[in-house]
Structure 1
Amino acid sequence: MSIKTIILFLYLSISALAQRPAGVTKQDLDKAFAEKGARLSLRADKDLLESNESTVLSIWLLIPPKTNADDIPEGMPSEIKLPDTEISPYRITNWRIVEGGGNLITESLTASYTAPSEAPEKKIMIVSVDCEPLSPNYPKVQLLKTLYFSRNETAVVLNMPTMGIVNAKFVSNISGGIKMPDIPANLKLPPDVQAKLKAAQKMAQAQKSETNALMSNNMAIYNAKENITAVRFSDLGIQAMDGNLQTIPRMGILGISFKGKGQGSYSLIGKDVGLVFAIPSEQNAFGCSKDAKDNDHDFSCTGNVVITKDDGKSIEGYFATKVFSAVGKEVVVGSIYGKFSALKAN
């Protein structure tokens, strides 16, 4: 059984415990179902997916607000995940990918979709599912969900539900550095001057990699004495929140430190290692480190950093861990994961 299947199984097991939330009566459900499919929708927990990134798809039902004696709505409508077949007049069938490729693992009311490794032609992926009526009084309903392919060298997803942060996706591509000028072909110089100029350009080119990294928004530097690699991302722009595109600019700053260098898997759990993520405009910070432990809390990270590529000039990898923050005097817990690319300063 694959890890994706195990995760989906756990997700479904937890979801099944709460098919009908408190406050939603059978009469409320009957009223919603009376709309004959108009109040059903297919949702994804993330609409923008990177290469090989996964999202969970589920079917939601809009519950209309209660009405008073004059049939005037009171309050706001609410939404719940479609209940199981003992309550619902629909049987869920035929999950399928209509366009864009990818992979789909289905389990009745929910499915896990994984984006393709390469961008589809239109950079969209469409998933469909059928709601087959169990009663002749209801029509067959087909639901569609459009997902969008997004490619970034670095993509970080932060979840801190207690603070209203759900699937906040921050992205960036490597920038910075200095372009070395070429010697014009038609430039007439004495041979000895030309030779010195080429020698100087060659020397500058040798130092270019380190200079580019130090000026880049994504930089990795290794401290040989402490055997620690520190990776800094200083220009992460928000792309999506709770699956929706964001138009209000917010910037994030991420720092990761781990013991070792080169390709391999490195723990974030020990001493002198950790992670911090900040959103300066909102004065919010999130992080984890064994060194931050106090008498009441253990703020240790829980995951690893995996370096998948190190060609001497840049590194690529991914990470995932638990993170902590504070709301007043209360410590809150969330998670952060992502993939990255950074230039090496040394």
Structure 2
Amino acid sequence: MSFRITFLLLSLPWSLFAQKPAGWSKQDWDKAIAQKGAQLILSSNKDLLEPNETCMLSVRVLIPPKDNAEGVPEGMPTDMLLPEGEVNPYKVTNWRVVEGGGNIITESIVANYTAPGQAPAKRIMVVSVDCEPLSPNLPKVQLLKTLYFVENETAIVLNMPSMGIINAKFTNKNNGGFQMPAVPANVKLPPDVQAKMQEAQKQLAQAQKSSGYNLSAISSNAMAIYDPKQNLTATRFSELALQAMDGSLQIVPSIAILGFAYKGKDMGTFSLVGKDIGLGFAIPSSQQAFGCGKDIKDPQDNELPCTGIVTITKDDGKTMEGHFSTKIYTAVGKEIVVGSIYGKFTVMKAN
């Protein structure tokens, strides 16, 4: 069940579609239908789900590209949401989870699915839906969608629809920062080398004690540091990897950086709205930057404020866990465009 089944429709009435694709005439669309060019698919806005993460499922119609004069398809297939009401020759029924667990809440042609809190045996979840024909010359259609269970310490999702960035998922595994190299038990070092390593460890411990900071945390790829004078916690991620884009698997290591700051410390919920606080996200390789904050303004001197919060759910003195969400902005030419960013995270505490 690791594949999605779609059934090629033998014939569909013109009235199925609320509107034809841009640039298509009625004759073009009638020809596509006659050539069995339409499919129903079960689509998800995310294919990779963290524990208890929710995605939206929808029944959609796959629209083939138009043929040129030589009969060769031009462009790529597109899709549209299956229309509701009298124009729809199918009744969408019997949404269900057939493998992997989780919960589903349905509303006609769309459903919200929430992944289980623990990984299923195969680390996949399969959702099914039936499309019952309202016309005797149409087949019954059963659609399946496979979703994949993933677990990450840190998972950040960026959405900038006007730039084509949809559900770009970035992850991070803490590298622990700088550590003195360990010597295997079966390796015997010369006395002078052993003495130098012991002296280096001693100096590192003294430097850490005198500074009041956890130097391993400061040098790690995910850390938080608190400034008591400003009552400000600053959090930084320096090696975010791209894991998924537009719901599909992608692997690009160390592509992005993220930083955000808020007033307060320890556990609780903290606003990202205010002076001297905010969020910044950047993809250096593509020279893209996104952010928000009361101190950030566009060329016309308009403020680009954050709108969200940071919630710290765990603080054991060495690490913190939490989640955040906010509106963000970027410039495309002279235009300011709006998007959103949210995620869960784990960081080492520097102090």
Q: TM-score, normalised by structure 2?
A: 0.81
The reply on whether 1:333 has 2:349 as its aligned counterpart is: no
Pick from 284, 301, 309: which aligns with 1:304?
309
Give matches, 1:182-197, under 5 Å.
none
Give the structure 1 partner of residue 168 of structure 2.
168
What's the offset of the Cα at 1:63?
A: 2.3
The reply on whether 1:178 has 2:179 as its aligned counterpart is: yes
Question: Aligned partners of 1:181 and 1:282: how far apart in 2?
Answer: 38
What's the offset of the Cα at 1:60?
A: 1.4
The reply on whether 1:158 has 2:158 as its aligned counterpart is: yes
Question: Aligned partners of 2:61 and 2:158: how far apart in 1?
Answer: 27
| Residues 206, 311 of structure 1: alpha-carbon distance in 2 compared, 3 angstrom cutoff | farther
The reply on whether 1:285 has 2:286 as its aligned counterpart is: no
Kept in 2: contact 1:31–1:64 (CA 8 A): no
Q: Which amino acid letter does the alignment assign opposite residue 310 of structure 1?
A: D
Give the structure 2 partner of residue 79 of structure 1.
79
Question: Aligned partners of 1:301 and 1:154: how far apart in 2?
Answer: 21
The reply on whether 1:130 has 2:130 as its aligned counterpart is: yes
Which stretches in structure 2 are left out of the alignment for 5+ residues?
1-16, 189-197
Give matches, 1:211-222, under 5 Å.
211-222=215-226
Local SS of the residue matching 2:265: coil
Kept in 1: contact 2:38–2:63 (CA 8 A): no
Q: Which amino acid letter does the alignment assign opposite residue 141 of structure 2?
A: V
Local SS of the residue matching 2:162: helix
Q: How many residue pairs are counted as aligned between the two chains? A: 319
| Residues 51, 80 of structure 1: alpha-carbon distance in 2 compared, 3 angstrom cutoff | same
Kept in 2: contact 1:214–1:345 (CA 8 A): yes
Question: Aligned partners of 1:100 and 1:339: how far apart in 2?
Answer: 23
What's the offset of the Cα at 1:331?
A: 0.7
Which stretches in structure 1 are left out of the alignment for 5+ residues?
1-17, 188-196
Give matches, 1:228-307, under 5 Å.
228-249=232-253, 251-293=255-297, 295-307=300-312
| Residues 286, 126 of structure 1: alpha-carbon distance in 2 compared, 3 angstrom cutoff | same
Question: Aligned partners of 1:134 and 1:33: how far apart in 2?
Answer: 18
Question: Aligned partners of 2:57 and 2:35: how far apart in 1?
Answer: 22
Local SS of the residue matching 1:246: strand
Question: Aligned partners of 2:92 and 2:37: how far apart in 1?
Answer: 13
| Residues 27, 49 of structure 1: alpha-carbon distance in 2 compared, 3 angstrom cutoff | farther
Local SS of the residue matching 1:323: strand
Q: Which amino acid letter does the alignment assign opposite residue 100 of structure 2?
A: G
1:199-222 CA distance string (max 9 Å, x none): x87x94995981221121000000
Q: Which amino acid letter does the alignment assign opposite residue 39 of structure 1?
A: Q
Name the stretch that deviates more: 85-94 or 129-138. Answer: 85-94
Kept in 1: contact 2:312–2:322 (CA 8 A): yes
Kept in 2: contact 1:231–1:255 (CA 8 A): yes
Local SS of the residue matching 2:136: coil
What's the offset of the Cα at 1:33?
A: 6.0
1:79-119 CA distance string (max 9 Å, x none): 21111141121110000001111110100000011111111
Kept in 2: contact 1:29–1:63 (CA 8 A): no
Q: TM-score, normalised by structure 1?
A: 0.83
CA RMSD of aligned residues (A): 3.2
Q: Which amino acid letter does the alignment assign opposite residue 310 of structure 2?
A: V
The reply on whether 1:93 has 2:93 as its aligned counterpart is: yes
Question: Aligned partners of 1:108 and 1:131: how far apart in 2?
Answer: 11
Pick from 288, 298, 318: which aligns with 2:323?
318
Kept in 1: contact 2:159–2:340 (CA 8 A): yes
Local SS of the residue matching 1:79: strand
Local SS of the residue matching 2:258: strand
| Residues 263, 37 of structure 1: alpha-carbon distance in 2 compared, 3 angstrom cutoff | farther
Kept in 2: contact 1:28–1:63 (CA 8 A): no
What's the offset of the Cα at 1:247?
A: 3.7
Give matches, 1:52-63, under 5 Å.
52-63=52-63
